[in-house]
Structure 1
Amino acid sequence: MAKVSTEELGSEPIGKLLVRQSVPAAIGILVMSLNVLVDSIFVGNWIGSIAIAAINVVLPVSFFIGALGMAIGIGGSSIISRALGAGNKDKALKTFGNQITLTLLATISMVALGLFYVDTLIPAFGGKGAIFDPAKIYYTIVLYGVPFLAICMMGNTVIRAEGKPKFAMIAMIIPSVGNLVMDYLFIYIFDWGMTGAAWATTVGYVLCFGYILYFFLSRDSELKINFSHFGLNKGILKEISSLGFVTLSRQAVTSVVYLLMNNILFGLGGEAMVAVYAIIGRMLMFALFPVFGVTQGFLPIAGFNYGAKKYNRVRESINTAIKYAALMATIVFIGLMIFPAEIAALFLSDKPGLSAVELATNRYVLEHTPSAMRWVFAATPIVALQLIGAAYFQAIGKAVPALLLTLTRQGFFFIPLILILPIYFKELGVWISFPIADVLATLVTGYFLRKEIKATLLNTTS
C-alpha cells in the first residue's frame, strides 16, 4: 500500500484529493454500516424481532461511551491536521499521546458506571417488557469491549489526519468482518442467542484494536510517540476538549433521542413499534454512508489547508464536498423511496414455528415500516449542506459554532418536535419530525456557513 504524505493535502487538486480521501472513508463506513445492518438481519432471522429491539435499546449507551474515543479523536485530529499543516510536528505528537491517555481514563470510568447502573439504564432507554432480559444480556457483555471500541474510534481519526485513508478504511473493515463471522459461528452454529450476538460484537472491537496498535507501531505511521507524550498537557487538553465536545455532544443528544424515541414509541405501539424504529435506525446508519464518507474525507483537507493558510483551497474543498455529498444523498433518497417494504422484510424471520408474539410483531413491522421510512428520509437530498457546514467549523478549530450547528438538528429542532407532534398526530407525528428538523437545520447551517466564508475565506487571495 503506497504511503501518502501529509503535504499532499495542500498540493493535490481538490477534486482528486477529496475522492482519494472520501472513497476509503466511505468504504470503511459502508462496511461498518453493513456490519450493523447484516448483524441486525442475522439477529432478526436467527433470534427474533424482539432481539432487534433489545439491541436498539443498548446501542445509545455503548455508542456514547465509544463516542468518547471518537470525540477525543476528532478533537485531537483537528489539532494534528493543523499542526502538521503548520510544520509543528512536536505538537502533533504531544496531542496524540494526550489522546491515548484521555481516552483510556474516560472510557474505563464510564464503563464502570455503566455496569453499576445497568438495571436503571436499560429501562430508561426503553428496555421494558419482553425487551429487558435480552437487552441486559447484550449490554453487559458488549460494555466490556467498549474501551477497545473507543481506542479504535480515536485512532481511526488520527490515521485519517495523517493523510492515510486506506489504513483507516482497513481499521473499519476488520471489526465488521470479524463480527459477522462470529455472528455466524456464535448464533447460528453454537446457538448462543443474545449472548452470541454480544460476544461477536466484542470480538470485533478487539480485532480492530489489534490492527490500530499494529499501525502506530509500524513504519507506516508518521506519529512515533514516546512515554513523555502521554503526560497530560493542560493547553492541549483544553483544545481537545473544546473541539471534541462537539462530537460528544452530538452523540449525547443522539442517546437522548434514542431514549425519547424508544419510550414514546413503546407507549404508542409496544415492543413492535420499537422494532420498527430499530430497523429505521439501522438504515439511518447505513444508507448515508457515502455522505458520511465525503464528510470524513473533507475534514483533514479543510483542516490542513486552513492551517497552511491556503484559503482558496479551503473554499474549493467546501464547494466540492457539498456537490459530491448532495449527489450521493440524492441517489440514496431514490433507493429508499422505491424499496422500503423490501428493506423491512430483510430483518424479519419467516422460519416455521414462530410464536404468536413474534408473528404479530412481524406483521406489525411489515405494515408500519415502509411509510415511516419514507417520512424519515424525505429530506435526505439536502443533508449534505448540513453535514459539511458543521464539519467545516470543526475542521478549522472553531468549537462554538461547530457545537451549535452540530446540535441544531437533533437538539434544537428534532427533540422538541418529537415531544410535541405525537401529542396531535400520534405515530405520524414521530416520523414527520425527521424531515422538518432536517429542513430547519439545513437552513440555519447554510446561513452561518455563508457568513463565515464571507468573513474569513474571501478576505484573502492566498
Structure 2
Amino acid sequence: MARVNAEKLGTEPISQLLIKQSVPASIGILVMSINILVDTIFVGNWIGPIAIAAINVVLPVSFFIAALGMAIGIGGASVISRALGADLKEKALKTFGNQISITLLITLSTMALGLIFMNTLIPAFGGKGDIFEPAKIYYRIVVIGVPILALTMMGNSVIRAEGKPKFAMIAMIIPSIGNLIMDYFFINVFDWGMMGAAWATTGSYILCLLYIIYFFMSSKSELKLRYQDLGFDANILKEIASLGFVTMARQAVVSLIYLILNNILFKLGGENSVTVYAIISRMLMFALFPVLGVTQGFLPIAGFNYGANKSERVRESINKAILYAAGLGLLVFGLIMFFAPEIASVFTQDADILEKTPSAMRWVFAAIPIIALQLIGSAYFQAIGKAKPAFFLTLSRQGFCFIPLILILPKFYGEFGVWISFPLADILSTIITAFFLNREIKKNLLNKKSTIS
C-alpha cells in the first residue's frame, strides 16, 4: 500500500502532483510562518520592541544548529526519493537510519558548543546594548531545544520524500499551534516575559517530535527502521553530506547575513533599525510561503522521476513548478506594495519604526516575482543529486550576490543601501540560475541516465 503511494510520483499528471505536494507544504509553511509572525506580535506588544530585536539576534544561532537537521533531512530525502523511484528499499531504509544517527551526534555536540560560547556569540550577532540581556534569556532556553528541532526538520523531509505531504503538513502545523497557545499562557497569563517566549518555542519542538515519532512507528510509513540501519554507512553518509551540505551552506549564509545586517543596522540606526529588519525578515518567512511550498512539493516529484528515468516528466515538473511559483510570487508582490504600512502597524506602535518599515519592506520585496526560477532551479539540482551546481546556485542569491552588496552599498547610501541590496541580489542570482538550468536541460536532461546504485 505504501509502495503504491510512492509510485504515484511517477504516474500521476504533473499538475495534479504539484498541487497535491505543494498545497500541504504551503499550508504547513503558512501555519509555521503565521506562528512566527504572531509570536513576534505577542512579544512586541506584551514585552516590547526590544524583545523583537533580541529574538532576531538569537535566530541565526538557533537556525544554524537547526539547519544541521534540515540539511541532513533534505540531503537524505533526495537519496530516499531516488532510491524509492528505483525500487531500492534497502538503501532507503539505511539512509533513514544514518540520518537519525548523524543528526543526534552532530546537533548535540553543536548545542554544547553554542552554550559554552553564549556570551561571545550573542554580541557578535548584534546583541548589544539593551538587546543583550533579553537575548541571553531567550538564547539559553531555545538552544537547549534545538537538537529536538533538528530531528523534527530531518523527519519532516523524510515524510515528504515518501510522498506523504499531508502528514508532513500536520508535522508543521502541530508545533505552530502549540507555540501560539503556550505563548499566550507563558507570556500573557504567567508573565514569564522572554523566558515564556523561549519555553513556548522549545515546547512546540517537543510536540512536533512526538508526532513524527508516531508517524514512523505507525503503518503510515513504509520506512520501518531496524536497529542495524542506525549503523553508519560511509557511502550513504557521503551522499547525504554532499547534498545536505547545500542546505547547510545556505543556512550558514543566512546566519552570516543576520550577523552582518544586525551589526550594520545597529551602527546606522541603533536598536530601532535592527527591529525594522526583524519585522521584515518575519514577513519574508510568511509572505513567501506559497512559493516555498511549490519548491518543497517539486523536490520529491523531480527526485522520484529522475530515479525512475522519466526525464520528460522531470522537464514538465520544472516548467510547471516555475510557472506556478512565479504566479504566486506576483500576488505576494502586489499585496506587499499596497499594504506595507498596515503590516508594519500590526507589530508595533513605535513611531520611528512605523516610519522606517514600509519603505524598507517594499524594496526588500521588489524582485519577488522573479525568484521562482532561482528557487526551483537550485532545488532541481539538489533533487537529482548534483551537489556542485546545487551548492553554487543555492548560494548565488544570498551568498555570492547579497553579501558583497550589503558590505558595499551601505557605505554610500546608508540604510537605503541595505534595503536595495535585496532586489539586486534577487535579479543577479535569477540570471545566473536561468543560465545553468537551461544548459542542464539542453545538454544533460534530454539524455539522462540514472545514477542510482
TM range (shorter): over 0.9
Any conservation in 1 of the 2:280–2:357 contact (CA below 8 Å)?
A: yes
Structure-2 residue corresponding to 1:142: 142
Provide the TM-score with structure 1 as the length reference. 0.96
Count of paired positions: 450
The amino acid across from 1:59 in the alignment is L
Q: What is the CA–CA distance in structure 1 between the aligned matches of 2:4 and 2:418, rounded to whole Å?
A: 46
Post-superposition shift, 1:3? Answer: 9.6
Q: Residues 28-107 of structure 1 correspond to what in structure 2 (within 5 A)? A: 28-107=28-107
Specify the SS of the correspondent of 1:219: coil
Q: What is the CA–CA distance in structure 2 between the aligned matches of 1:33 and 1:460, rounded to whole Å?
A: 37
Post-superposition shift, 1:461? Answer: 12
The amino acid across from 1:18 in the alignment is L
Post-superposition shift, 1:459? Answer: 3.1
The amino acid across from 2:123 in the alignment is P
Q: What is the CA–CA distance in structure 2 between the aligned matches of 1:364 and 1:266, rounded to whole Å?
A: 14
Structure-2 residue corresponding to 1:423: 411
Question: Bigger CA drift: 449-458 or 307-316?
Answer: 449-458
Alignment deviations for residues 292-348 of structure 1 (CA, whole Å, 9 cap, x no partner):
000000000000000000000000000000000001000000000001111111011
Specify the SS of the correspondent of 2:444: helix
Post-superposition shift, 1:364? Answer: 1.2
Structure-2 residue corresponding to 1:117: 117
Any conservation in 2 of the 1:243–1:394 contact (CA below 8 Å)?
A: yes
Structure-2 residue corresponding to 1:446: 434
Alignment deviations for residues 378-437 of structure 1 (CA, whole Å, 9 cap, x no partner):
000001000000000000000000000000011111000000000000010000000000
The answer on 1:389 being equivalent to 2:374 is no
The amino acid across from 2:368 in the alignment is T
Structure-2 residue corresponding to 1:262: 262
Q: What is the CA–CA distance in structure 1 between the aligned matches of 2:327 and 2:374, rounded to whole Å?
A: 14
Q: Residues 332-351 of structure 1 correspond to what in structure 2 (within 5 A)? A: 332-349=332-349
Q: What is the CA–CA distance in structure 2 between the aligned matches of 1:29 and 1:304, rounded to whole Å?
A: 22
Specify the SS of the correspondent of 1:409: helix
Any conservation in 1 of the 2:78–2:303 contact (CA below 8 Å)?
A: yes
Flag structure 2 segments of 5+ consecutive residues without an equivalent: none
Structure-2 residue corresponding to 1:355: none
Post-superposition shift, 1:4? Answer: 6.8
Question: Bigger CA drift: 340-349 or 289-298?
Answer: 340-349
The amino acid across from 1:106 in the alignment is I
The amino acid across from 1:374 in the alignment is R
The amino acid across from 1:440 in the alignment is L
Specify the SS of the correspondent of 2:221: coil
The amino acid across from 1:395 in the alignment is A
Question: Bigger CA drift: 107-116 or 3-12?
Answer: 3-12
The amino acid across from 1:158 in the alignment is V
Q: What is the CA–CA distance in structure 2 between the aligned matches of 1:217 and 1:90, rounded to whole Å?
A: 18
Structure-2 residue corresponding to 1:221: 221
Specify the SS of the correspondent of 2:344: helix
Supply the RMSD in Å over aligned alpha carbons: 1.4
Q: Residues 11-26 of structure 1 correspond to what in structure 2 (within 5 A)? A: 11-26=11-26
Specify the SS of the correspondent of 2:414: helix
> Cα–Cα, structure 1 residues 21 and 450, in superposed 2: closer, same or farther, change >3 Å?
same
> Cα–Cα, structure 1 residues 329 and 405, in superposed 2: closer, same or farther, change >3 Å?
same
Any conservation in 1 of the 2:309–2:448 contact (CA below 8 Å)?
A: no
The answer on 1:234 being equivalent to 2:222 is no
Specify the SS of the correspondent of 1:163: coil
Any conservation in 1 of the 2:3–2:222 contact (CA below 8 Å)?
A: no
Q: What is the CA–CA distance in structure 2 between the aligned matches of 1:94 and 1:33, rounded to whole Å?
A: 33
Q: Residues 363-382 of structure 1 correspond to what in structure 2 (within 5 A)? A: 363-382=351-370
Structure-2 residue corresponding to 1:456: 444
Q: What is the CA–CA distance in structure 2 between the aligned matches of 1:458 and 1:74, rounded to whole Å?
A: 25
Q: What is the CA–CA distance in structure 1 between the aligned matches of 2:447 and 2:314, rounded to whole Å?
A: 13
The answer on 1:297 being equivalent to 2:285 is no
Would you identify which runs of 4 or more consecutive aligned residues in structure 1 move more than 4 Å? none
Post-superposition shift, 1:458? Answer: 2.2
Any conservation in 2 of the 1:70–1:154 contact (CA below 8 Å)?
A: yes
Flag structure 1 segments of 5+ consecutive residues without an equivalent: 350-361
Structure-1 residue corresponding to 2:402: 414
> Cα–Cα, structure 1 residues 82 and 115, in superposed 2: closer, same or farther, change >3 Å?
same
Structure-2 residue corresponding to 1:358: none
Structure-1 residue corresponding to 2:317: 317
Any conservation in 2 of the 1:54–1:131 contact (CA below 8 Å)?
A: yes
The amino acid across from 1:49 in the alignment is P
The amino acid across from 2:291 in the alignment is V
Any conservation in 1 of the 2:141–2:195 contact (CA below 8 Å)?
A: yes
Alignment deviations for residues 138-196 of structure 1 (CA, whole Å, 9 cap, x no partner):
00001111111000000000000000000000000000000000000000101110000
Structure-1 residue corresponding to 2:425: 437
Q: What is the CA–CA distance in structure 2 between the aligned matches of 1:348 and 1:446, rounded to whole Å?
A: 39
Q: What is the CA–CA distance in structure 1 between the aligned matches of 2:51 and 2:344, rounded to whole Å?
A: 15
The amino acid across from 1:421 in the alignment is L
The amino acid across from 2:32 in the alignment is M
Specify the SS of the correspondent of 1:215: helix
Q: What is the CA–CA distance in structure 1 between the aligned matches of 2:203 and 2:326, rounded to whole Å?
A: 36
Specify the SS of the correspondent of 2:260: helix
